[in-house]
Amino acid sequence: MQWDGEGLIVGVRRHGESSVIAEVMVEGRGRQLGLIRGGRSSKLAATLQPGNSVQVSWRARLEEHLGTFTLELLEARAAGLIADRAKLYASQIVCEHLRLLPERDPHDRLLGLAIRILDQQGTLLELGASVARFELILLDELGFGLDLASCAATGVTRELTHVSPKSGRAVSRAAAEPYLPRLLRLPPFLITSADPTGDDVADAFRLTGHFLDMHVWMPRQLQPPAIRDTFVELVSKPDV
């Protein structure tokens, strides 16, 4: 069988002496793996970079087989990412997060967000806020979404300022007051159109990191992306 589509390269690993196995997030098809014969050649090196968009053709005798890829470069981002440290870190984090998704399970919302982050032009704070929102949606797509619509204690929908670290539900300012040391701060930009501050971005990553660790990294015995802490420091203190 065979199919064609557009996708984003999120990972490449060696296979044998000259081949590689590429992981590509494909629209409508999710995270797909395929063997690329001769993939370690200098000819393909520029194409097989995480963050590049490609036209991909997959072929295998049976659907459950690994299959082989042939690729055509559509959007070369790698050189631009390397020249911009913050964008490079954002790319690495987003691509590692996409690799957490089940194989062959479509997640077009995350794919679209990832591409917008890679192509985003703006401030470090805006970039950090975009990646934090991506992590929040990643939790939702993995089945561990937070309930930030109303207060867990009172049901009110205004002045939601914190999140319960156990339930993942929002808590209003009044209800949170007696329990502040136990709660996670909810940055306004995650639920409104407010512009983020540096503290907001740092708190957003603290929030998403807590639940990613609880539901994803720890159960799978994984470490967070190695560059994540450095990225958070960079984008939450852009003037330091």
In Å, what is the CA distance from 47 to each residue of 22, 52, 150, 201, 217? 11, 7, 46, 33, 30
| Rounded distance between C-alpha atoms, residue 44 and residue 38, angstroms | 8
Domain ranges of the chain: 2-79, 122-236
Tell me the torsion sign for CA atoms 2, 4, 5, 10: positive
146 near 168, Cβ under 8 Å?
yes
- What pLDDT score was predicted for residue 38? 86
Superfamily of chain region 2-79: Nucleic acid-binding proteins (2.40.50.140)
The predicted pLDDT at position 1 comes to: 87
Residue 240 above 70 pLDDT?
no
Is residue 132 over pLDDT 80?
A: yes
Task: Choose the weakest-confidence range: 21-35, 118-132, 187-201, 226-240.
Answer: 226-240
Residue 13 has pLDDT above 60, yes or no: yes
Per-residue pLDDT for 171 more than 90? Answer: yes
* pLDDT score recorded for residue 43: 83
- Residue-wise pLDDT for 60-107, tens only, equals 888 778 889 999 999 999 888 989 999 999 999 999 999 999 999 999
Sequence-distant (6+) residues with CB within 8 A of 73 are: 46, 47, 52, 53, 54
Measured N-to-C along each axis, helices 85-98 and 108-119 cross at an angle, to the nearest 10 degrees, of 170
Q: Above pLDDT 70, what percent of the chain?
A: 99
Strand order across the 170-172 sheet: 170-172, 160-163, 184-185
Confidence of residue 48 (pLDDT cuts 50, 70, 90): very high
- Which whole number is the average pLDDT over 32-50? 90
Residues 7-15, mean pLDDT to the nearest whole number: 94
pLDDT the model gives residue 239? 66
Q: Residue range 27-41: average pLDDT?
A: 92
| pLDDT more than 90, % of the chain | 85
pLDDT digits (tens, 9 = 90+) for 140-168: 999 999 999 999 999 999 999 999 999 99
Mean pLDDT of the chain: 94
| SS3 call for 120 | coil
Q: Comparing C-alpha atoms, which of 145, 137, 169 is closest to residue 156?
A: 169
Residue 215 has pLDDT above 90, yes or no: yes
Structure confidence at residue 54 as a pLDDT band (50, 70, 90)? very high
